[in-house]
Amino acid sequence: MSLEGGEGAGKTTVLKALHERLLQRGFEVVSTREPGGTPAGEAIRALLLDPAHTLAAQTELLLMFASRAQLVETLVEPALARGAVVLADRFTDASFAYQGGGRGLSMALIAELERVFVRRKPDFTLLLDLDVAAGLARARSRGAPADRIEQERDEFFENVRKAYRTRAAAEPQRFAVVDAGQGVEAVVADACAVLDRFLDSRAGARP
């Protein structure tokens, strides 16, 4: 299962709560993040987010998929094979939203990379939907210098949000959308409630 959203939407905060909820419900949980999640993936993440680099959009896309391919081969597939739940802070939907929606790269090309190198979609995806200005303000309030992608203009992030919402609307059976503009406690409560509904609908099956 995966967690998605724009900058500062609160994924890190919500991920911890969902991880705890899954443990309480008796699952082995493997939480991970993208780009990154493996030693090689974290090195790729550093390259991707370093503002010192000017990357072509295609390079950015392929590095996202390089990190993802490493994660799928070395972490996701082995974890699923032994019956664990993988809880991913971003997965392929982020490439559709950022590289497709934000950068304007071909959605068909991204779908083809997904088909060849990922070969699966999350069973359940929680989208934290938030006004772009509010998300950027939250991200900036942490005081860390903006990374390469956070330095993009607002229009880029508006297109990212639009692409996420379009994907959620197209696959309502996979996506649940939570209003991330609420206070932390309300967002966490909503996120846990939709997770519980999903787990209950699967009647004990692994997500």
Decide if 171 contacts 127 (C-beta within 8 A): no
- Choice between 24 and 141, CB closer to ligand T5A: 141
- Choice between 111 and 149, CB closer to ligand T5A: 149
Q: Is 164 in the site for ligand T5A (CB under 6 A)?
A: no
* C-beta neighbour count of 158 within 10 angstroms: 16
Structure-token pair, residue 13: 């905060």
Q: In this structure, what are the phi and psi dihedrals at residue 83, rounded to the nearest 5 degrees?
A: 95, 5
Region of 90-98, 117-125, 166-174, 195-203 interacting with ligand T5A (CB under 6 A):
90-98
Q: Is 18 in the site for ligand T5A (CB under 6 A)?
A: no
Residue 19, amino acid: H
Among the listed residues 69, 139, 146, 192, the single contact to ligand T5A using CB under 6 A: 139
65 conformational bin, left if phi > 0, alpha if psi -120 to 50, beta if neither: alpha
Q: Is 22 in the site for ligand T5A (CB under 6 A)?
A: no
Burial category of 74 from C-beta neighbours within 10 Å (exposed 0-12, middle 13-18, buried 19 and up): middle
Q: Is 122 in the site for ligand T5A (CB under 6 A)?
A: no
Residue 167, amino acid: R
* C-beta neighbour count of 142 within 10 angstroms: 7
Q: Is 39 in the site for ligand T5A (CB under 6 A)?
A: no
Among the listed residues 22, 113, 163, 187, the single contact to ligand T5A using CB under 6 A: 187
Applying CB under 6 A, which residues contact ligand T5A?
Answer: 5, 7-13, 34-35, 64, 89-90, 94-95, 98-99, 138-139, 141-142, 149, 180, 183-184, 187
